A and B are shown apart, each in its own frame.
Chain A
């Protein structure tokens, strides 16, 4: 009897059905005690990994991720599975959960105060999140801010950060003790590696944190550090635009976003390195 890994990431529990052993081992490395093989509590979402056909088991092995009767992604080479599992988990949360306001953003927390970094891919938000998550900040999420409805607080998720292409080397060099997954080369988003920033014991101490600032980062290798305050009106529009489910939540979503906007300050930040930026974000969470 082969058991499937169950991932408890805090607000949600996933089961990865039919997970190949090597991938289970990689997941275990990233999730430590959040991964279990025994069912103790009901599971929210199931990713079922299946071969696309008998032939494809043998020649150029290819797999599909099914989520109940849905197949959200195209079939992929078996060797590219790990990032797809992470994306599949994101897909489940964004497609099926409407009990939180979800914003496409990474979340860094210090002194129980949170800063959101919503941004388009390529803005360097994941690298930034990973960099500070490995220092004296806690990375609540590198992809999705889970905001409690009717509040301005954000929940932590116990998940690895996902790094792309050159970011992988940058972070590896900046912290030689960090736990990485093997790099998956040649996904449709480039090369991907996952990074563990927190262990389960530490995660268990975390609680919802109040959002005090929102930063829209822009990485520009030739730029000096430029910090520019943004109006809360523009901030509101940008957060709504970066939300996965703002339009579905209706009035509840609007009220929640108002809470967040009323109690936060907004900044656009251009940066080429983290010098100076660390001091700036530190000030935002210190009173």
Chain B
């Protein structure tokens, strides 16, 4: 069972007919390691293939599905409660990422597991929302002073909050990318095209939801579980393509300065899922932009030979030396993208110093 075999199952799920029990065993482990078990369950469900899954594998897929279903229910519960008590203070949270997929019932939400709920509020409401959360059983997760300062000074979100009884984690964003990255998305771009779900929840526009997922993936530094995001992006694009072509998404990315990032996403999507989104991209691009980034052979070389290997499912059973290298290169790249060097270098120095101290004195040295 090789990585290409596994990827192919996502485009041609009927290939499961060819799997031996040993193949299934490998597949279950790789999917589990990449938080994809329940998503794969729903893919097979949509293709009416669950009858063809051997008992051994089915019990693992079903177990994951039960867990994911419960999480979906929890998202609904938490969202309802948030909207209610924040609404009393005239704050209307905009749901992002996993929670938005669930509330919009996007196709990728089936089986998608997440570790927290993300919301966006205008910058001006940040201190208000913190007060309201504290009055409603949410507390700031304890961080050390340096991490706290990191969030407050440089990040695009507040330090995470946690519900004292239910343990749910809440991330409160005021924009989509750390301001320190130098990429500033004007607040009105985020807030002017909101959509309301059937149940009355606010989310970003479908195009912005996709772009956010793309930005989140490629401005990230940890690529060990990134295939879940790749799968998100692919399914969301498929949904968008049902109603329109990708022109509006491409225009939006260009306006906000993320053409390059979208290009990477579309190119990789085509490569992995045999789609042809890039044709669309080239037609929609303004001629001004054509000369710069995306026709550089170096760029394509980097995408095909580094990013591609970093975003594939990771697991000891399928990782190669090169996929590990690629993830390391992307780790560095993620940091460089997010922070200018004059901030990054002291940050890394600080973190590695702390790492050394932790090694020597144990991690309790820094914990209160």
In the complex, chain A residues whose CB is within 8 Å of the CB of B64: 96, 98
Asked whether any CB of chain B lies closer than 8 Å to the CB of A248, the reply is: yes
A68 near B32 with CB under 8 A, answer yes
Q: What's the tally of chain A residues with a CB closer than 8 Å to chain B? A: 18
> Is A70 a contact partner of B67 (Cβ separation < 8 A)?
no
A97 contacts across to B, CB distance below 8 A: 63
Whether a CB of chain B sits under 8 angstroms from the CB of A250 is yes
**Are B315 and A98 in contact (CB-based, < 8 A)?**
no
The 5 closest A-B pairs by CB, nearest first: A68-B33, A69-B33, A98-B66, A42-B25, A98-B63
Which of B56, B57, B315 has the most CB atoms of chain A within a 10 A radius of its CB? B56
Candidates A48, A70, A249; contact of B66 at CB < 8 Å: A249
Q: Given A69-B34, A69-B224, A69-B225, check contact A99 B66 (CB 8 Å).
A: yes
Would you call A236 an interface residue if the criterion is a C-beta within 8 Å of the partner chain's C-beta atoms?
A: no
Number of interface residues, chain B, beta carbon within 8 A = 26
Q: Hey, what's the 0/1 contact readout for B196-232 against A, CB within 8 Å counting as 1?
A: 0000000000000000000000000000110000000
> In the complex, which residues of chain B have a beta carbon less than 8 angstroms from the beta carbon of A96?
32, 60, 63-64
In whole Å, how far is A73's beta carbon from the nearest beta carbon of chain B? 13
Tell yes or no: B73 within 8 A of A by CB. yes
User: Once the chains are docked, how many angstroms separate the CA of A43 from the CA of B64?
Assistant: 17
The reply to whether the CB of B70 lies closer than 8 angstroms to some CB of chain A is yes
Contact with A along B80-105 (1 / 0, CB 8 A): 00000000000000000000000000
Contact between B315 and A99, CB atoms less than 8 A apart: no
Whether B70 and A247, one on each chain, are in contact in the complex, defined by CB atoms closer than 8 angstroms, is: yes
Q: Which among A41, A66, A68, A70 has the greatest number of chain B C-beta atoms within 10 A?
A: A68
The contact string, 1 if C-beta is below 8 Å from chain B, for chain A 56-73, is 000000000010111000
Q: Do B63 and A43 touch across chains, with their CB atoms under 8 A apart?
A: no
Q: Is A282 in the interface zone, CB < 8 Å from B?
A: no
B56 x A42 contact (CB < 8 A):
yes
B316 within 8 Å of A (CB atoms): yes
Contacts of B56 in A (CB 8 A): 41-42, 44
Q: Closest residue to B225 on the A side, CB-wise?
A: A69
Chain A residue contacts of B343, Cβ below 8 A: none
CB distance from B22 to the nearest CB of A (A): 7
B130 within 8 A of A: no
Taken together as a complex, chains A and B put the C-alpha atoms of A97 and B63 apart, in Å, by 6
